Amino acid sequence: QVQLVESGGGLVQAGGSLRLSCAVSGRTLRSYAMGWFRQVPGKEREFVAAISWSGTSTAYANSVKGRFTISRGNVKNTVYLEMNSLKAEDTAVYYCAVDLVAADIVTITGYDYWGQGTQVTVSS
């Protein structure tokens, strides 16, 4: 069994920063991409950022490019999302996910495992 657990969500003022973490546990997995997605009520879950297994390849949604940074920890079953210059429109539930095939790491349908989500609320 594979579990993903997000942490680090909370309330932050506009213009502030927040760091999300995701840890993968359970069955051993190798060479998988990881991504962050977010969802607000009434809207489809959308891509935020993704990173390759090596950490050398990253991708970002245009809406967060230049403000968010995705990275892998020294322990490869962890991934982080550093969020800076936060805006009210960044408010959402943020999910991390694992893509075993990694053919297209920005496409939600390619992801195999999902975390439970962590709430990020940006006040203005």
Alpha helices for the chain (secondary structure H): none
Apex CA 86: angle with CA 54 and CA 99, to 5°? 30
pLDDT of residue 113: 94
Interatomic CA distance for residues 9 and 119, integer angstroms: 5
Closest-CA residue to 89 (of 20, 23, 15): 15
| Whether pLDDT at 108 is above 80 | yes
Interatomic CA distance for residues 26 and 24, integer angstroms: 7
Interatomic CA distance for residues 38 and 87, integer angstroms: 14
Give 79's strand partners.
Answer: 22, 72
Which tops the pLDDT comparison, 31 or 24? 24
Least confident residue range of 8-12, 30-34, 55-59, 61-65: 30-34
Tell me the pLDDT of the chain averaged across its residues: 93
| Whether pLDDT at 76 is above 80 | no
Interatomic CA distance for residues 53 and 15, integer angstroms: 30
pLDDT per residue as tens digits for the range 36-72: 999 999 999 999 999 998 888 999 999 999 999 999 9
Contact 34, 96 (CB under 8 A): yes
- At 73, the pLDDT band (50, 70, 90 cuts) reads confident
